[in-house]
Chain A
Amino acid sequence: MATNNKLKKVKAGRDHIADNFYNALSLSDMAQHAHISPYHFLRVFKDTYGETPNEFLIRLRVAHAKKLLITENHSVSEVCEHVGYSSLGSFSSLFLKQTGMAPTLYRRKLWALSAEPFCFPAQAIPACYARHFLGK
């Protein structure tokens, strides 16, 4: 477990990722904000949060892309750009790897479930909440 001081530094790096995930971010950018060397940043980050900085970055980008695909009428390339990827190919394959389906298929499937356009279908939130608040 990281010491308090190291934890603060790695948190600063993590905050930087969370606030800037839609920009191009390299490991050295992240480590620079944590004021530690890239190698140490990677190691302490993984020890502290259980995932690498890059895994965290991908998780944030894919989660944000999912929201955009459902709630906005952007094209997949626009969504890709919005979440910080310059290559549509690498965005699509990451998305596929994380969610098990390509971005367009994900959008089509969820839009088919939703009764209202540009709204998340109730099925996309935990069913207990949908039942409680929406009666579904």
Chain B
Amino acid sequence: MITSIAHATIYVLNQDEALDFYKNKLGFEIGDDMKVEGGFRWLTVYPKSNSQLQLVLAEPKEGPMFNKEAAEKIRSLIAEGAFGAGVFETENCQQTYEELVAKGVEFIQPPTEQLYGVEAMGLDNSGNWFSLVQR
């Protein structure tokens, strides 16, 4: 039986810039930030109140998984907004939305009533969408 989700990956264009965004704009905490042999940087973040699921901020680079062409393709798809980080929960969508807008976070949909709650949709600084939901 699977009991929980520990890590999920989001591809970003630049780990330093993504870390700045997730930490200083979204208010996430750093889980791990370690240089791993082979030039890989293991970087995870999580919302301050819940560290159970951590987001791995990874850069698509030429290496064992991607050839040069594939890495470049993924980078251009990220910038086009083809990928998403998923749903982030909030106690108050409107309030969080306003806080984030004030910090310069770009939104493609303001808080909107949905069947499951109030939802806004924003973009991280790589171009990945994330959904902000109040249930």
Contacts and interface: CB of A to CB of B under 8 A. Distances in A.
Contacts of A119: 35-37
Nearest to B63: A133
B37 A114 contact: yes
B34 interface: yes
B64 interface: yes
B49 interface: yes
Nearest to A118: B35
Interface string B21-38: 000000001001111111
A122 B34 CA distance: 10
B34 A125 contact: yes
Interface in A1-16: 4, 7, 11, 14-15
A32 B65 CA distance: 49
Interface string B43-57: 000001100000010
Contacts of B38: 115-116, 122, 133-134, 136
B85 to A, nearest CB: 17
A129 B56 contact: yes
Interface string B64-76: 1100000000000
B88 interface: no
A23 B8 CA distance: 32
Nearest to A125: B42
Given A4-B91, A133-B63, A15 B48 contact: yes
Closest 8 pairs (CB-CB, A-B): A135-B64, A116-B37, A119-B37, A134-B38, A120-B34, A125-B42, A120-B36, A133-B40
14 contacts: A11-B48, A48-B49, A63-B32, A67-B34, A71-B34, A116-B38, A120-B37, A122-B37, A125-B32, A129-B42, A132-B65, A133-B58, A133-B65, A134-B40
Given A11-B48, A124-B34, 16 more contacts: A4-B91, A18-B29, A48-B49, A67-B32, A71-B35, A120-B34, A125-B32, A125-B34, A125-B36, A126-B7, A129-B58, A130-B36, A133-B38, A134-B36, A134-B64, A136-B38
